Amino acid sequence: MPTDPITTILIALAALVLWVMSLLRHPIGTCPRCKGAHIVQTRLGRVRTCKKCAGTGLHRRRGATTVHGLYWTLTGNRQRQQRREDIARRLDARRTGDRP
């Protein structure tokens, strides 16, 4: 199989996009320590609540916070911009006297 460097870069980019989309849709994953079982066995053979997930069996996936922060920064700014434009339009309409 011939490996073109551009093809390799494109595949890596596609994998990155898929991973980011997966993080956006599923930011919470199964706890890697207890694998969702909520409990772990100590070296002495005793069973206790998993400390990593505090017994929830869930874990925030690596990179999820960054991806979601970026997503809300981008979309949040757009929503804020739209709200400001909407308010400006309503104020203009009120000033000129006609109802929107």
Backbone angles phi, psi at 87, to 5 degrees: -65, -45
How many residues at the interface with Zn ion, by CB under 5 A? 6
Q: Shortest Cβ distance from residue 54 to Zn ion (Å)?
A: 8
Among 22, 27, 29, 33, binds Zn ion (CB under 5 A): 33
Which residue(s) pair with 30 in the sheet? 58
**Segment interacting with Zn ion (CB under 5 A) among 25-33, 60-68, 69-77, 91-99:** 25-33
Q: How far is the CB of 61 from Zn ion (least distance, A)?
A: 14
Output phi, psi for 32, to 5 deg.
-70, -20
As given in the structure block, the two tokens for residue 63 are: 């990179």
